[in-house]
Amino acid sequence: MLETAYLLIKLDRSTPAEVARHVRRVPGVVEAAVTMGDVDVLAVARGATTKTLADIGHLVERIDGVTRVSVCVVVRP
């Protein structure tokens, strides 16, 4: 079963819609949406391990305009 994480992405003054399009192209990201609130883009990622999810978060951090990514791993009891 694949692990799942929510990626909470903060931006500088870049256009959130453009950044969300780039985030969707990152391998392992299954969805990305622009949000209004404390974060600018929210993404869902899936990977084989939690390390894979961290690696996906690091790839998202490299996108121009991204200032911070918090990787929140989903725990299913």
Q: What is the pLDDT of residues 2-60, one digit of tens each?
A: 999 999 999 998 899 999 999 999 999 999 999 999 999 999 999 999 999 999 999 99
Of residues 34, 45, 62, 36, the one with CA closest to residue 3: 45
Contact 40/10 with Cβ under 8 angstroms?
Answer: yes
What does the pLDDT read at residue 14?
Answer: 80
Chosen CATH of 3-73 out of 1.10.3720.10, 3.40.50.720, 3.30.2310.20, 3.30.70.920: 3.30.70.920
User: What's the rounded Cα separation, in Å, for the pair 72 and 45?
Assistant: 10
Contact 70/7 with Cβ under 8 angstroms?
Answer: yes
How many other β-carbons are positioned within 10 Å of the β-carbon of residue 47?
A: 19
User: What's the rounded Cα separation, in Å, for the pair 74 and 62?
Assistant: 23
